[in-house]
Amino acid sequence: MTTQQNKPTGIFSQLLFNIIIPVVILTRFSGEAHFGPTLGVVVALAFPLLFGAWELKKTGKFSFLSVLGIISVLLTGGISLLELDVKYIAIKEALIPGVIGTAIIVSQYTKYPLLKTLLFNPNTMDITRIEQALEAKGNLNKLPKIQIVASNILAGSFLLSSVLNYVLAKIIVVSPAGTEAYNNELGRMTALSYPIIAVPSMILFFVAFYYLLNSIKKLSGLKIEEMFPE
């Protein structure tokens, strides 16, 4: 029972509550005949916000990325409801992944590198077995260098996302906040963010993971399937 409660939600639920429902509300139900621009933003952003909070409670994992995701939704709501200049949407879109990418790089020089939180952790990989195999081969001292390269690739995925987010927001969101046109543009930007931004960033994310696995494989003699917890 405990394992079922801690299981993360699937990709369909993520897409449904974070992208599909908000996009439909922003583009189809933000006119005066339905919710109107202001309530439309509130209803649309309520779905990813409540879903994020529910997922945090369900998994019991208070992660850095999850918190930033909720902050991002709140910032979008604040900019929209306060009817601030739309340039702040572009800045906000670039800020969140930019902060993550920078944090990954900076954290390499601390006791708590984010690579270990995102990829090289006991939930994802069999750390004890990997370190024992590397030590047996006399290559344990090479692990930090591998982690630094993987961290830089991983950081690159978020920094790429930051640049693409900014460009996409500047091109699409041009109408004043508090208008139906603004809501439609916000919805279109959200819809396009997955194929234009998420996919390239995820490719780089998996490149970082593959580099990490393949490098450990060469230095430890382990098969890739042996690096994961049973």
Looking at the predicted structure, is the pLDDT value of residue 5 above 60?
A: no
Is the pLDDT score of 127 beyond 90? yes
Asked whether 15 and 47 are in contact (CB, 8 A), the reply is no
Would 25 be classed as within a structural domain?
yes
Helices (H), the chain: 2-6, 11-15, 21-28, 36-59, 64-81, 87-107, 114-118, 127-136, 143-172, 180-193, 199-220
In tens, the pLDDT along 166-178 reads: 999 999 999 999 8
Query: CA separation (Å) from 88 to 85, 92, 94, 147?
Result: 6, 6, 10, 35
Inside any domain, residue 85: yes
- What angle do helix axes 180-193 and 36-59 make, rounded to 10 degrees? 30
Q: What is the pLDDT of residue 48?
A: 85
Evaluated on CA atoms 71, 73, 74, 79, the torsion sign reads positive
**212 located within any domain:** yes
**What gap in Å lies between CA 120 and CA 76, rounded to an integer?**
32
How many Å apart are CA 140 and CA 114, to the nearest integer? 20
In a domain, 17, yes or no: yes
Give the pLDDT band of residue 66 (cuts 50, 70, 90).
low
Q: What is the mean pLDDT of the chain?
A: 86
Q: Is residue 2 situated within a structural domain?
A: no
Classify the phi-psi angles of 211: left when phi > 0, otherwise alpha if psi is within -120 to 50, otherwise beta: alpha
Mean predicted confidence (pLDDT) in 202-218: 93
Q: Is the pLDDT at 115 greater than 90, yes or no?
A: no
Query: Is residue 15 over pLDDT 80?
Result: no
As for how many domains the chain has, the answer is 1
Question: Rg of the chain over CA atoms, in angstroms?
Answer: 20
Please tell me the predicted confidence (pLDDT) of residue 1: 38
Give a yes or no: residue 142 inside a domain.
yes
Would residue 3 count as lying in a domain? no
Q: Which residues contact 146 (CB under 8 A, 6 or more apart)?
A: 211, 212, 215, 216, 219
Domain extent, residue 184, equals 11-227
Q: What's the pLDDT score for residue 56?
A: 74
| Inside any domain, residue 131 | yes
Question: Which residues have C-beta within 8 Å of that of residue 225, sequence separation ≥ 6?
Answer: none
pTM: 0.78
